């Protein structure tokens, strides 16, 4: 073997190493791009949106939620610090929460570069279920008067639509990651379709179609599956015997066998109520972060109790 040949062999080996090193380098760069610092910061109004943006955006995004767990989006007001902090984000996904009409113009003034994406696009909004809350100065569950029902995250097909809007917005912000967003969206959409089919299957053949809710957040879920939510007003913390009696009377009058309550119900109160209506009383948080398991919980309760 001549020395020239051995040099050629060496440089060929070197080239092979260099070729091998390219994917490794790309991989390392990708891993680096996934670091928190280079992730696209997205701000959302409420927790259920976090799942949508994370499922579509994967490790290319970081999501911050304005309304913290335990706060009500109906009474929430962003602090000046939060408004300033939104300026660090690339995109804000609005959903129609009560505080947004006041917030969005402030954001546009303070952060002209921030992309504001309304995730209601492509969704047929429906009126808010009629209920008593508007007549009370009670505040906690008041909805903006005359505004459409803002709870568009409680129906799988509508969540799919919102996820598509999120996918398109992220792809515009990060064109190099478009394929990743499209693939993640496709997986999420498939899961939402499966959930939709599962809920339909669980409710098929049920003659009873009504359920009672503490807070009428399930209007879009109800209309998607041909159900009807009956809102009940429960004020205060632990409902007393009078309130429970009123709920039972209403449930019997309306032929309701499923009641979704919120945290302030004790297990004892819930069990008594379930016994009295001969059905299911389930604690439910309409703002749960994991929309998919929350929806399954709702459908399972309905499937067990409705006839």
Nearer of residues 57 and 231 to Zn ion, judged by Cβ: 231
Interatomic CA distance for residues 87 and 80, integer angstroms: 11
Nearer of residues 144 and 272 to Zn ion, judged by Cβ: 144
Q: C-beta of 144: minimal distance to Zn ion in Å?
A: 10
Nearer of residues 297 and 303 to Zn ion, judged by Cβ: 297
**What stretches of the chain adopt beta strand conformation (E)?**
40-44, 61-65, 91-94, 115-118, 210-213, 228-231, 258-261, 280-283
Nearer of residues 50 and 141 to Zn ion, judged by Cβ: 141
Find the residue with minimal CB distance to Zn ion: 217
Q: C-beta of 228: minimal distance to Zn ion in Å?
A: 17
Interatomic CA distance for residues 250 and 69, integer angstroms: 30
Longest dimension (CA), the chain: 102
Nearer of residues 46 and 107 to Zn ion, judged by Cβ: 46
Q: Which residues pair with 43 in a beta bridge?
A: 64, 92
Nearer of residues 57 and 286 to Zn ion, judged by Cβ: 286
264 phi, psi to nearest 5 deg: -70, -10
The interface with Zn ion within residues 68-107 (CB under 5 A) comprises none
Q: C-beta of 215: minimal distance to Zn ion in Å?
A: 5
Q: Which residues pair with 280 in a beta bridge?
A: 258
First to last CA, the chain: 87
- How do beta strands 91-94 and 228-231 pair? unpaired
Q: C-beta of 74: minimal distance to Zn ion in Å?
A: 6
Q: Which of 216, 228, 221 lies closest to 130 in space, CA to CA?
A: 216
Q: C-beta of 39: minimal distance to Zn ion in Å?
A: 30
Q: C-beta of 66: minimal distance to Zn ion in Å?
A: 15
3-state DSSP assignment of residue 283:
strand
String of contacts with Zn ion for each residue 194-233, x by CB under 5 A: -----------------------x----------------
Residues in contact with Zn ion by the rule CB under 5 A: 217
């Amino acid at each position: 073997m001549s020395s020239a040949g051995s040099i050629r062999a060496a440089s060929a080996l070197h080239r092979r190493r260099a070729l091998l090193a390219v994917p490794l380098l790309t991989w390392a760069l990708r891993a680096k791009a996934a670091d928190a610092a280079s992730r696209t910061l997205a701000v959302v109004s409420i927790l259920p949106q976090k799942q949508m943006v994370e499922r579509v955006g994967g490790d290319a995004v970081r999501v911050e939620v304005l309304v913290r767990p335990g706060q009500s989006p109906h009474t929430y007001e962003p602090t000046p610090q939060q408004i300033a902090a939104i300026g660090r984000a690339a995109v804000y996904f609005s959903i129609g929460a009560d505080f947004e009409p006041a917030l969005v113009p402030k954001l546009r003034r303070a952060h002209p570069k921030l992309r504001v994406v309304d995730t209601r696009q492509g969704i047929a909004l429906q009126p808010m279920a009629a209920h008593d809350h508007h007549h009370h100065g009670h505040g906690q569950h008041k909805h903006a008067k005359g505004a459409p029902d803002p709870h568009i995250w409680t129906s799988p097909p509508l969540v799919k639509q919102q996820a598509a809007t999120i996918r398109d917005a992220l792809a515009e912000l990060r064109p190099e990651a478009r394929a990743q967003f499209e693939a993640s969206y496709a997986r999420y959409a498939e899961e939402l379709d499966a959930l939709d089919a599962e809920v339909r299957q669980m409710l098929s053949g049920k003659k009873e179609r009504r359920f009672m809710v503490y807070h009428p957040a399930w209007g879009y879920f109800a209309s998607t599956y041909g159900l009807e939510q009956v809102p009940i007003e429960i004020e205060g913390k632990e409902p007393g015997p009078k309130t429970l009696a009123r709920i039972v009377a209403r449930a019997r009058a309306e032929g309701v066998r499923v009641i979704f309550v919120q945290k302030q119900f004790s297990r004892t109160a819930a069990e008594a109520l379930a016994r009295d209506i001969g059905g299911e009383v389930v604690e439910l948080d309409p703002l749960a972060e994991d929309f998919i398991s929350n929806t399954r919980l709702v459908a399972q309760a309905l499937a067990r109790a409705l006839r």
